[in-house]
Structure 1
Amino acid sequence: MRINLPTWLTLFRVALLPVMVLVFYLPFHGHNIVAATIFILAAVTDWFDGYLARRMNLTSAFGAFLDPVADKLMVAVTLFLVVQAHRGGWPGIVMAVTAATIMGREISVSALREWMAEVGMRATVKVAFIGKLKTVMQMVALVVLIIEHDAETLRLYHVGELLLLIAGVLTIWSGLYYLKAAWPVLMGDLPPRTSGSDSSNEKNL
């Protein structure tokens, strides 16, 4: 099996995660800025590998499997870091609930897409604008929260917490959007197409 460039970028994104965790906890001045920079680099490779896959038609089954896994790992690991660092009081409770909501939605929508693919209806729950908007807000919130880990001014105004809460609302909204799109199939109102399966235009596919 030959690994193409988009998949190498995805693997690089996964490899950045333990580096980010290590930097996040290291006690040196500006560690939060370095950790946020690593997260931004990982997010850029997330966009770039998809661009290359579409532009150069570099597709692979391994890349199609690994890319969403890398995305979920990046979000889950970072949420764990910022929730653990901001625990205490109502802001910490709200952040923990928001983080749990985001991860619950990610798992649920991934399972929904997998099931819809099995019945040949994956295109019904393809990525929509609200999903992309949720992802952008989520990434911005996580960057701010990483910086906020060691920045008293930002923490004073709870900028990261507010952005993550907005991302949580968009997360619920987008999840309901995909559920609504799949609902007729889930309820049996539309016959599933079992002869073949849909292919999506998502990155690395």
Structure 2
Amino acid sequence: MSRRLLNLPNVLTLARIGAIPLVVVCYNLPTAWGRPAAAVLFLVSSLTDWLDGYLARRLGQTSPFGRFLDPVADKLIVAAALVLLVQGHPHSYMAVPAIVIVGREITVSALREWMAEIGERAQVAVSSIGKTKTTLQMIAISLLLYEHKLYGLPVYELGVACFYVAAALTLWSMAMYLKAAWPSLRKA
């Protein structure tokens, strides 16, 4: 890989992908610290999502490779975490919001790709509601992965509540993206 591709922002993005097997292993360890370790790894990886974008802009190191890789890394680590959570708690209360989140990611990714193909990608640019959804989703998943009480706080229950709010924001943001793209969809 060329030096231009291996800049700090892209290395952070690649590290997010590299963290996925570590999150999986930690979550499935038969120890008391396994799930908290998975949560910390996921949370740190989530923070690199903000950091890599900030550094890319600040250092003038944005690249087509980074613009491609960043959302892929985000979706991979979130999908892996959602699979772990549904595996660890195989109930509809966990599966339904996980399906909503994954379904939205697939729908919006396909919509963005199609809109880019017809030259109207700007119509479905990331919105503030999408950023809020992502932040709440990362907090929810971190809390759910942690699972244990922390200083008497019901971390898992807080995670479930955040997870449902994130799923609602997920549907809302998807509806907003579809509404923005509707005129182009109708023309097609």
TM-score by length of 1: 0.84
RMSD: 1.7
Deviations 1:103-160 (A, max 9, x none): 0000110111111111111111111111011101101110110111x449737x7332
Deviations 1:71-109 (A, max 9, x none): 00011000011111112xxxx212201101110000110
Structure 2 CA distance for aligned equivalents of residues 143 and 19 of structure 1: 14
Structure 1 residue 29 displacement after superposition: 2.3
Partners of 1:13 and 1:42 within 8 A in 2: yes
Number of the residue aligned with 2:85? 82
Partners of 2:27 and 2:34 within 8 A in 1: yes
Partners of 2:26 and 2:34 within 8 A in 1: yes
Structure 1 residue 51 displacement after superposition: 0.3
Structure 1 residue 54 displacement after superposition: 1.0
Tell me, yes or no, if structure 1 residue 8 matches structure 2 residue 11: yes
Number of the residue aligned with 2:34? 31
Number of the residue aligned with 1:64? 67
Structure 1 CA distance for aligned equivalents of residues 83 and 52 of structure 2: 25
Tell me, yes or no, if structure 1 residue 123 matches structure 2 residue 151: no
Partners of 2:43 and 2:139 within 8 A in 1: no
Number of the residue aligned with 1:196? none
Number of residues of Structure 1 aligned to a counterpart in Structure 2:
183
Structure 1 residue 174 displacement after superposition: 0.2
Alignment of 1:72-151 (within 5 A): 72-87=75-90, 92-148=91-147, 150-151=148-149
Question: What 5-or-longer segments of structure 1 have no aligned partner?
Answer: 190-205
Tell me, yes or no, if structure 1 residue 154 matches structure 2 residue 154: yes
Question: Which has the higher mean CA deviation after the structures are superposed, 175-184 or 157-166?
Answer: 157-166
SS at match of 1:58: coil
Number of the residue aligned with 2:43? 40
Structure 1 residue 55 displacement after superposition: 1.0
Partners of 2:29 and 2:35 within 8 A in 1: no
Structure 1 CA distance for aligned equivalents of residues 59 and 159 of structure 2: 37
Structure 1 residue 58 displacement after superposition: 0.4
Q: Which amino acid aligns with 1:127?
A: V
Which protein has the larger Cα radius of gyration, Structure 1 or Structure 2? 1
SS at match of 1:181: helix
Q: Which amino acid aligns with 2:127?
A: A
Partners of 1:9 and 1:49 within 8 A in 2: yes
TM-score by length of 2: 0.91
Partners of 1:95 and 1:165 within 8 A in 2: no
